[in-house]
Amino acid sequence: MLSPHASLLFLLGAAGFTCAASPDFTSLVNLFIGTASGANGGSGGNAFPGAAIPHAMAKVGIDVDTAPRQAGYIHDNSSITGISLMHDEGTGGNTNGGYGIFPLFPLTDCSFSSCPVAIDSRKAKRAANTDVATPGYFSTTFVNGLKLEATSTRRAGLIRFTYPNPAAGMHVVVDLTHDLGRSFEGGNINLDRSAGQVKLQGTFLQSYGTDNYTVFGCYDFLSPTSSNEQTVVDSGTFQSSSSSSTTITINPNSTSLTFPFTSSPTSVQAGALLSFNSSSGTVLTRFGASFISSAQACANAQEEVPDWDWSAVRAASVAKWQDVLQRVAVEVDLEDPTVVELLYSSLYRASLVPANLTSENPYWKSSSPFYDSFFCSWDTFRTVHPLLSLTSPREWGEIVSAYVDGWRNTGFIPECRANTKAGYVQGGSDGMPILGDFAVKYNSHADELGVSTDDLYQALVDTAENTPPDWYQVGRQNTAWKQFDYIPTAWVDPSGATGLATREASRTLEYALGDFAVRQAALALNKSGADVELYGNRSFAFKNIWDPSVTSDGFSGFAQRRFANGTFAFSPPDACSPIDPTPHSCARGTDNNVGFYESSSWEYSFFAPHSMSTIVDLMGGSSTFITRVDHYFSKGYFLAGNEPSFAIPWAYHYAGRPDLSTLRVRNVVYKNFGTGIGGIPGNDDSGAMAALLTFHILGLYPVPATRQLLIGSPLVSSYVLKNNLFQTETNITVQGFDRTSLSATPAASSRFFVKSITIDGTPNESLCWISFDVITGGGNVVIEVDNDSIGASARGCGNSTNALPDSLESGGFSA
């Protein structure tokens, strides 16, 4: 999603693979991509560069004092307020961000009783160029020479402070109240000095929704190992009722503070201060986090970091990342270094979330895995989940189980659960295409992956049929959907169900895809033919908001809002596009009078990924369609930084012009992505942008809830996809690969147009799509590329009847 501002403007021998040692892919990851400031309406990516394992609950990193700070960190010279235990990846929404809980802050050059514990007096600048971030490790150094380091496991980890002059004091603030959102609503801190342990509980606001959540922390300060003789020499607590206090009295020897729950954030600043004596000049602390209790937070630390062994924790984290990264293997030395850096940095970010909160579910007892940071399915269904489907079904099976378990316990598939609470629904219930995708790809392995397909299917049907009391939190407005076959504008729902009745046009388009996902699951899971037909029929309802009479820039036919009586409600098709001449509100709010969420009719009119032939027809046939896609890009309607634009560079495939998609994808990649801190065109959105770039680099684009991927021209000469369930290694090689094609506008003499595709030695009849079975099947795919000499357009997708990618209306997806 967009930030609020922007939306207004328009191995180590990894387990299982014993072949020749893989290169160390972790060294290729640049964690600072996408960490620029998003201030003043820009979007900095909001990437999180701290210490974390794949899908970690604990994401340890430093926090800046200025907003926006959605991921805590910004790569500028802002002051740092602490190093805290949890963060999100690339989210939009609240510019203050969520999480950033229970920060620590090291202090020196003060005596215990007069240390500056208040947030505004303690905050510090970093010395220039001292930030270091690699998979499993983060470090920075303040201008006063104090060094901060972190490494972590799933729910625990180690933080180390190195003091430049131990004699000047070695103090650590344990901050109870300051999360990124400054949203403390109550909690407590308890200090056991002889045990060297501090336990915390806090209630904070979720960052994208109206609810709060309660989280627990545990810090241990006395390492059991004799190598670090670290003793607590002073301790106490502090509190002030004012968020702007700069001088706060420290109560020596005080061991606890309790703040009763308040229904809105308080301005209290509070925490503990500990002073140390340590022979090494460092203070090492072990932390654990939990959503269950502070005792469980302490137990998590003990379970996951029993020996306080820094190098073991860090090495284990690196090994987990290597295992993830080597599932997309390239020959590093042979490829373009920038592409390699973009690829591995993207693969890294695409596996930071969803977060594995298994055994940390505060709401219901279940043996199912529990995952969180689905922030939001609207962002991630297009690319994050399809990428997991190719290489990582073991993780994906757990995540899909968590979606299904959400339905089992709430009646609906979760949509934007984050900070453990339901967030705002942005459009459709976009867990539906995720579950549909799992059904079509892993139906015959579901048991092994721990997913009940009966429950998965019932979750889809219930979400497609039932309307929750508040469909702004979860589910869909099926009352309207089933009565009208579109979402009417200015309609008062007599059922009493409530929600946010905006985004009528884009919700219609997304509900149609959601129903297609049910149809696909019904087919894959051998449900009744009647179900297949019903949901297939309903998936065509996107046509019901097509107003053929609307024209824009000489093109006719646009998706539009529609009243309950069938009359269309006009909005200018360029409204909410990047070149909207009139200010419009384009987010969720009731001031959105355009009907599209974070996008324009120009852009959303291309949205029917399951039946693109219908869109081609509605737009007047292939040749007009091609001109229209060209115009969408050249006029400036393309909004690279947000999800509704993701598939459009590939749309030419559906008009038999894969050569144009190939050109366009290169153009989009080289104009919008890079290895700098501003290298992501929008918020990373829980890895959605990262997974998108991965697909562009691999020359693939997934069609939601189907076994088809569009295929194009990769930006590497070969890659191997490893699937961790099938234990397959599929080699995709570009024959004739030409590095001169790696630019925004490659010359016609460059070889990068797909000339043939050969699967295990057999030439395939389609140059435009490839099946999931092939891409995960363990064979060899050869993509032969050529320059434009014979006219790439002449080849098209091929001449056979099934050369075009499938569309439901033209008979596709029949099995």
- What residues make contact with ligand NAG under the rule CB under 6 A? 55, 76-77, 203, 210-212, 214, 231, 233, 252-253, 261, 263, 277, 279, 329-331, 356, 358-359, 395, 398, 526, 530, 533-534, 537, 563, 565, 567, 718-720, 731, 733, 748-749, 759, 762, 764-767, 770-771, 774, 787-789, 794-795, 798-799
In angstroms, give the least distance from the CB of 694 to ligand NAG.
15
563 DSSP 8-state letter: B
Q: In the block, which residue shows the tokens 């091929």? A: 798
CB distance 201 to 188 below 8 Å: yes
Closer to ligand NAG by Cβ: residue 639 or 775: 775
Closer to ligand NAG by Cβ: residue 430 or 515: 515
3-class state of residue 556 by DSSP: strand
Cβ contacts of 38-41, under 8 Å, gap ≥ 24: 38/3, 38/5, 38/6, 38/68, 38/70, 38/95, 38/683, 39/66, 39/68, 40/5, 41/3, 41/5, 41/6, 41/8, 41/9
Reading the block at residue 292, the tokens are: 């269950």
In angstroms, give the least distance from the CB of 578 to ligand NAG.
26
Q: In the block, which residue shows the tokens 């929404």? A: 93
Closer to ligand NAG by Cβ: residue 252 or 469: 252
In angstroms, give the least distance from the CB of 783 to ligand NAG.
12
Q: Which residue is nearest to ligand NAG (CB)?
A: 749
In angstroms, give the least distance from the CB of 312 to ligand NAG.
18
Closer to ligand NAG by Cβ: residue 592 or 764: 764
In angstroms, give the least distance from the CB of 631 to ligand NAG.
26
* Beta-strand runs (E) in 142-267: 147-152, 156-162, 171-175, 187-192, 197-205, 212-220, 230-240, 250-252, 256-259
Reading the block at residue 690, the tokens are: 């990262």
At how many degrees (to 10) do helices 529-538 and 453-465 cross? 40
In angstroms, give the least distance from the CB of 422 to ligand NAG.
11
In angstroms, give the least distance from the CB of 343 to ligand NAG.
12
Closer to ligand NAG by Cβ: residue 602 or 737: 737
Facing residues of 236 across strands? 252, 273
* Selection from 156, 136, 140, 151 nearest residue 348 by Cα: 136
46 Ramachandran zone, left/alpha/beta (phi>0; psi -120 to 50): left
Closer to ligand NAG by Cβ: residue 263 or 634: 263
Closer to ligand NAG by Cβ: residue 55 or 178: 55
| Other Cβ atoms closer than 10 A to 557 | 21
Q: Please compute Rg for the chain using Cα positions.
A: 27
In angstroms, give the least distance from the CB of 263 to ligand NAG.
5
> DSSP of 273-309, one letter per residue?
EEEEEETTSEEEEEEEEESS-HHHHHHHHHHHSTT--
CB distance 212 to 230 below 8 Å: no
Closer to ligand NAG by Cβ: residue 540 or 597: 540
In angstroms, give the least distance from the CB of 624 to ligand NAG.
22
* Selection from 725, 692, 728 nearest residue 710 by Cα: 692
In angstroms, give the least distance from the CB of 233 to ligand NAG.
5
Closer to ligand NAG by Cβ: residue 123 or 628: 123
Chain centroid, CA 467 distance in Å: 27
| Other Cβ atoms closer than 10 A to 523 | 21
Reading the block at residue 365, the tokens are: 């007892």
> How far apart, in whole angstroms, are the C-alpha atoms of residue 220 and residue 518?
49
* Selection from 254, 229, 245, 267 nearest residue 174 by Cα: 254
Closer to ligand NAG by Cβ: residue 395 or 684: 395
In angstroms, give the least distance from the CB of 799 to ligand NAG.
4
Closer to ligand NAG by Cβ: residue 53 or 689: 53
H or E, element range at 20: none
Closer to ligand NAG by Cβ: residue 94 or 358: 358
> DSSP of 85-127, one letter per residue?
S---SS--SSTT-S---S-EEEE-SS-GGG---SHHHH-BPBP
> How far apart, in whole angstroms, are the C-alpha atoms of residue 461 and residue 73?
41
Closer to ligand NAG by Cβ: residue 395 or 515: 395
Q: What are the two backbone dihedrals, phi and then psi, of residue 262, each rounded to the nearest 5 degrees?
A: -120, 145
Closer to ligand NAG by Cβ: residue 395 or 574: 395
Facing residues of 754 across strands? 785
Closer to ligand NAG by Cβ: residue 6 or 52: 52
> How far apart, in whole angstroms, are the C-alpha atoms of residue 769 and residue 800?
13
In angstroms, give the least distance from the CB of 48 to ligand NAG.
17
In angstroms, give the least distance from the CB of 160 to ligand NAG.
18
In angstroms, give the least distance from the CB of 182 to ligand NAG.
16
In angstroms, give the least distance from the CB of 781 to ligand NAG.
9
707 DSSP 8-state letter: S
Angle at 750 between CA 748 and CA 751, to 5 degrees: 115
CB distance 599 to 576 below 8 Å: yes
Closer to ligand NAG by Cβ: residue 166 or 674: 166
In angstroms, give the least distance from the CB of 644 to ligand NAG.
27
Closer to ligand NAG by Cβ: residue 2 or 350: 350
At how many degrees (to 10) do helices 393-410 and 384-391 cross? 130
In angstroms, give the least distance from the CB of 398 to ligand NAG.
5
Closer to ligand NAG by Cβ: residue 77 or 256: 77
> How far apart, in whole angstroms, are the C-alpha atoms of residue 710 and residue 768?
6
Chain centroid, CA 203 distance in Å: 24
> How far apart, in whole angstroms, are the C-alpha atoms of residue 90 and residue 569?
35
CB distance 383 to 702 below 8 Å: yes
Reading the block at residue 766, the tokens are: 């389609």
In angstroms, give the least distance from the CB of 236 to ligand NAG.
8
Q: What are the two backbone dihedrals, phi and then psi, of residue 499, each rounded to the nearest 5 degrees?
A: 180, -160
